Amino acid sequence: MSAGESEDPHLPQTVASDELQRGDQRWKAARAVIKVGTSSITDQAGRLKPFAIEKLCNEIAEARETGHEIVLVTSGAITAGVGALNLKERPTRIRELQAVAAVGQPLLMGRYQKHLSDRGVPAGQVLLTPYDFMHRPQYLHARETLRTMLGLGIVPIVNENDTVADDAIRFGDNDRIAAIVANLVDAQRLVLLTDIAGVFDADPRANDDASLIEEIVEFDPEVVRAAGGAGTVRGSGGMASKIAAARMASWSGVSTTIMAGDCDDAVLAGLSVRPPGTLVRARTQRLSARKLWIAFGMASRGRIVIDDGARGALLHRGGSLLAPGIVAVSGSFNVDDAVDLIDRGGDVIAKGLVRRPSSQMFVEDGGDAAGADPIVVHRDDLVIIPEER
């Protein structure tokens, strides 16, 4: 981790005459996903902050005027609903949260559309759930919808569909949605606007000596531990979810800026070559949106220990995990749950969706349940993950 000195190789390369300049910052026209958190656009009472939303919309309009294509991912529907209903506190039961979101979402969208319209920018609402990424027909539909909107000059405004999502299948925070949307639309940059200046080596709210990490090239456990938990009561994310989202984006070839949203010209600053806050560099390897969700968006429900032969098949031959290669199983999981695949040395080498429940996983002497499909995790449902995960 160090301060970056070179231009971002993952932004589109254009000739010098196409470069845009503002002060001492240079950047090139890019497709970008901008994500704003609840705490940035609502106050402590849960009311929307008109000035903050207007500021963001003006910055999006300015970015478009300089050649950028923008997708906005926004939080705040539930909190806006809490404020509109004059509730004393945020509900905790899922049905109440869904009802409150149904009130807050149109209020939130209305604000964005008004301020963008004042700048001559059309905007459209897109509500997503994990289903849209896990099932290929839905994935293709979502991708084409977003790309068509961009082609028509529309700013897609994306949020999780909180009115129908439940605890069994939901993203839980919009940082992860933003990372997957960046993959979906082939973005070059993801900008996560928050109420903290970036990623620090300790919690800056509790440690005055905390130092800003200007650039992350490789993730390590210390960065994740320093990120901490949720940032505010009103929000569902926090720096830990932003680290997770930046890692997802990195694995899809997208560089990420994590920065404060209240700085001047935040959107254009976040897209610059040397942005304020923390720049997370993209990896050269790319994963599909579906595999990103398997790798980083789904909680592991168990572990499967595999032998050396299975390890070699997964890592070097692109194979599926077969029942005879299983040494041991831990945890309780069902069909299509995510599990970690562990080698004999205890290292997590992959993650995938299982085709049989743990209760039917017969592994004694490497045997197989009678009549069962020998494929336990198909290669199409499997992601090889390095230790940095």
- How far apart CA 77 and CA 100 sit, in angstroms, is 8
Q: Is residue 10 part of a domain?
A: no
Q: Are the C-beta atoms of residues 36 and 193 closer than 8 Å to each other?
A: yes
pTM over 0.85: no
Domain boundary among 250, 275, 292: 292
The domain total for the chain is: 2
Q: Across residues 120-144, what is the average pLDDT?
A: 85
Nearest Cα neighbor of 146 from 126, 129, 163 is 126
Q: Is residue 1 part of a domain?
A: no
Kindly state whether residues 315 and 211 are assigned to the same domain.
no
Kindly state whether residues 334 and 266 are assigned to the same domain.
no
Higher pLDDT, 66 or 163: 66
- Residue 71 has phi, psi (to 5 degrees) of -115, 130
Higher pLDDT, 366 or 167: 167
Confidence (pLDDT) at 372: 62
Buried b (16+ CB within 10 A) or exposed e, 80-95: bbbbbeeeeebbeeee
Q: What is the CATH number of the domain that holds 273?
A: 3.40.1160.10
Is the pLDDT score of 247 beyond 90? no
- Residue 353 has phi, psi (to 5 degrees) of -100, 125
SS3 191: strand
Residue 118 token pair:
């004042």
Confidence (pLDDT) at 165: 60
Kindly state whether residues 283 and 366 are assigned to the same domain.
no
Q: Is residue 319 part of a domain?
A: yes
Confidence (pLDDT) at 217: 80
SS3 39: helix
Q: Are the C-beta atoms of residues 30 and 268 closer than 8 Å to each other?
A: no
CB atoms < 10 A from the CB of 293, how many?
24
The beta strands (E) that lie in the chain are given as 20-22, 25-27, 31-36, 69-74, 123-128, 155-160, 189-194, 215-216, 255-260, 278-280, 300-306, 321-322, 326-331, 338-342, 348-353, 375-377, 382-384
Kindly state whether residues 240 and 357 are assigned to the same domain.
no
Domain boundary among 292, 320, 347: 292
**pLDDT over 70 for what percent of the chain?**
80
pLDDT tens digits, 144-155: 999 999 999 999
- How far apart CA 175 and CA 380 sit, in angstroms, is 25
Domain interval for residue 275: 16-292
Kindly state whether residues 311 and 209 are assigned to the same domain.
no
Confidence (pLDDT) at 5: 36
Kindly state whether residues 102 and 137 are assigned to the same domain.
yes
Kindly state whether residues 285 and 345 are assigned to the same domain.
no
Domain boundary among 267, 292, 317: 292
pLDDT tens digits, 199-245: 888 777 777 888 888 988 877 666 666 665 444 444 444 688 888 88
Kindly state whether residues 85 and 190 are assigned to the same domain.
yes
pLDDT tens digits, 159-181: 988 677 655 445 667 888 898 89
Q: What is the CATH number of the domain that holds 321?
A: 2.30.130.10
Higher pLDDT, 373 or 317: 317
Q: Across residues 293-318, what is the average pLDDT?
A: 88
Kindly state whether residues 72 and 151 are assigned to the same domain.
yes
Kindly state whether residues 63 and 113 are assigned to the same domain.
yes
Q: Are the C-beta atoms of residues 107 and 84 closer than 8 Å to each other?
A: yes
Q: Is residue 4 part of a domain?
A: no
Kindly state whether residues 119 and 208 are assigned to the same domain.
yes
- How far apart CA 339 and CA 69 sit, in angstroms, is 37
pLDDT tens digits, 74-130: 988 888 898 889 888 888 888 898 899 899 999 999 999 999 999 999 999 999 887
The region of weakest confidence among 61-70, 142-151, 213-222, 271-280 is 213-222
